């Protein structure tokens, strides 16, 4: 049956069938082949989305849309410029810092890319050219799903069941996200020096910094309250998402005062459409995952690695290479839904901490949003800024290398992912 499922999915994908429907049609073919009743398809689909934790995804997506529309981006950019604006490549450095700040209130890369491009695309393009500025914006936006709140982390924790709580994943994302951000800023400085990019900002002023910080301080309290509450167990991720929506509404109407009632229908529509896409993927992939499971795929993979005497590090490296390839050809959300139920239970059997494995798994697939030919961020930036895919991909090479380098570092030094969650659990 396994060969039939893989072949059916490949055929539907090649024919251009949307991924969610390709999952469902492949599962239907498998049920027909096995002579199983078709009501299994509906039962698995309904059961997979009948989940309280999954409600956190639309809440955080809505909160991110509200915060972006509510004018937070301009204040984050002003604060970032006050800190690093006078460094070589200062506008690009500010973009990365703004991406770090925005990721703490968003959690999705595409929304962050649109917001960063709207706020910084023109001035960066004027200073450095469209290709480099587009590459920096795409790479900075990719921090959105890494630094919590992160939609992929919520999705992984839901699909993995009781193996890993989302609070641990949120805590695990901070250090890798900050390492990637710092590495990107170093790379930007080196590139700016080698290409002779000018200084674009004023010399650092502590007074200006305090003014900018005061303007954005109340807004930045949102991730402290929401993420802190989830990580320390004060409330669940779903409850935290609802609190984030309420905070975003208050911030947009009464703090930044740029959110307007007439913008709310569009905001709700974007959040609903994005959430519906994720929900459809989960629903249609569930029966396919079920068929893979009863076909013995997890056991076969586990036996393969045990037969070749693979240790924990070798297993992680093999999964890393596989996910790099998967990320090149399959959209990350689809890959989580299809692969997490298969691989997550295998990690403890190889003596790998579930948080450690999940961090490697999530980060590797997130980087797939920057890799051609199907990287979502590539399509966003090429469409908005009218540059070729090849030109943008060349500018992204150092940033992709940095992100993959951090993942490899986590594989060999698990404490980069597990230290903070363990510290919080012991408090």
pLDDT tens, N- to C-terminus, the chain (427 residues): 667 777 887 788 778 787 778 888 888 888 888 778 878 888 888 877 777 777 888 888 888 788 777 777 777 788 887 888 778 888 898 889 888 888 887 777 877 888 888 888 888 888 899 999 999 999 999 998 899 888 889 889 988 877 899 999 999 999 999 999 999 999 999 999 999 887 776 677 788 888 888 887 877 787 788 888 888 888 888 888 888 889 888 888 888 888 888 889 998 998 888 788 778 877 887 787 777 777 766 666 666 666 665 688 888 998 898 889 888 877 787 788 888 888 888 888 888 999 999 999 999 999 988 988 767 788 888 888 888 888 999 999 999 999 999 999 999 999 999 999 999 888 7
Judge residue 360's burial from the number of C-beta atoms within 10 Å of its C-beta, 0-12 exposed, 13-18 middle, 19 or more buried.
buried
In the numeric block, which tokens belong to residue 46?
A: 């309904």
Q: How many domains does the chain have?
A: 1
**Residue 117 CA to its chain's centroid (Å):** 18
Q: How many CA atoms lie within 13 A of 43 on its CB side?
A: 7
Global pTM?
0.84
Q: How many CB atoms are closer than 10 A to CB 17? A: 16
Rounded-to-integer distance, Cα 169 and Cα 278, Å: 19
Rounded-to-integer distance, Cα 234 and Cα 371, Å: 38
DSSP secondary structure letters along 403-425: HHHHHHHHHH-THHHHHHHHHHH
In the numeric block, which tokens belong to residue 262?
A: 């007439």
pLDDT 10s digits, 178-217 = 999 999 999 999 999 999 887 776 677 788 888 888 887 8
Find out whether 51 and 229 touch, Cβ atoms under 8 Å.
no
Rounded-to-integer distance, Cα 417 and Cα 135, Å: 27
Category of 201 on φ-ψ map: left (φ > 0), alpha (ψ -120 to 50) or beta: beta
Identify the three-state secondary structure at position 105. Answer: coil
pLDDT 10s digits, 14-53 = 787 877 788 888 888 888 887 788 788 888 888 777 777 7
Rounded-to-integer distance, Cα 73 and Cα 354, Å: 35
Q: Is the peptide bond before 373 cis (omega within 30 degrees of 0)?
A: yes
Q: Is the peptide bond before 149 cis (omega within 30 degrees of 0)?
A: yes
Rounded-to-integer distance, Cα 233 and Cα 425, Å: 9
Q: Which structural domain range is residue 218 located in?
A: 2-426
């Amino acid at each position: 049956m396994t060969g039939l499922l893989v072949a059916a999915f490949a055929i539907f994908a090649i024919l251009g069938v949307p991924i969610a429907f390709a999952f469902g049609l492949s599962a239907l073919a498998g049920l027909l082949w096995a002579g199983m009743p078709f009501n299994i398809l509906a039962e698995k689909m309904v059961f997979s989305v009948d989940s309280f934790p999954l409600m956190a995804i639309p809440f955080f997506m809505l909160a991110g849309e509200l915060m972006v529309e509510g004018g937070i981006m301009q204040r984050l950019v002003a604060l970032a410029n006050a800190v690093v604006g006078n460094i070589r490549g200062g506008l690009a450095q500010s973009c990365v810092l703004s991406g770090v700040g925005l990721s703490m209130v968003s959690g999705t890369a595409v929304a962050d890319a649109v917001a960063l491009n709207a706020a910084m695309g023109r001035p960066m393009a004027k200073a450095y050219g469209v290709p480099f500025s587009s590459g920096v914006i795409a790479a900075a936006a990719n921090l959105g799903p890494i630094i919590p709140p992160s939609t992929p982390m919520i999705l992984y924790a839901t699909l993995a069941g009781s193996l890993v709580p989302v609070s641990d994943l949120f805590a695990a994302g901070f250090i890798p996200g900050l390492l990637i951000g710092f590495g990107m800023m170093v790379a930007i400085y080196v590139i700016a020096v080698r290409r002779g990019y000018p200084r674009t900002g004023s010399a650092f002023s502590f007074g200006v910094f305090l003014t900018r910080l005061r303007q954005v301080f109340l807004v930045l309290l949102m991730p402290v309250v929401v993420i802190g509450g989830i990580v320390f167990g004060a409330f669940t991720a779903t409850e935290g998402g609802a609190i984030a929506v309420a905070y975003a509404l208050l911030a947009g109407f009464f703090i930044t005062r740029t959110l307007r009632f007439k913008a709310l229908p569009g905001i709700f529509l974007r959040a609903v459409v994005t959430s519906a896409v994720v929900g459809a993927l989960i629903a249609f992939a569930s029966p396919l995952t079920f068929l893979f499971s009863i076909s013995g795929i997890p056991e076969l993979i586990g036996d393969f690695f045990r037969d070749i005497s693979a240790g924990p590090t070798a297993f992680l490296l093999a999964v890393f290479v596989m996910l790099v390839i998967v990320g090149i050809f399959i959209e990350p959300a689809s890959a989580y839904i299809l692969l997490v139920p298969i691989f997550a239970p295998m990690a403890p059997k190889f003596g790998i901490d579930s948080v450690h494995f999940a961090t490697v798994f999530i980060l590797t697939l997130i980087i797939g949003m920057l890799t051609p030919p199907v990287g979502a961020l590539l399509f966003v930036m090429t469409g908005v800024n009218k540059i070729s895919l090849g030109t943008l991909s060349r500018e992204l090479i150092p940033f992709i290398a940095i992100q993959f380098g951090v993942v490899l570092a986590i594989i060999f030094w698990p404490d980069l992912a597990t230290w903070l969650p363990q510290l919080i659990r012991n408090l």
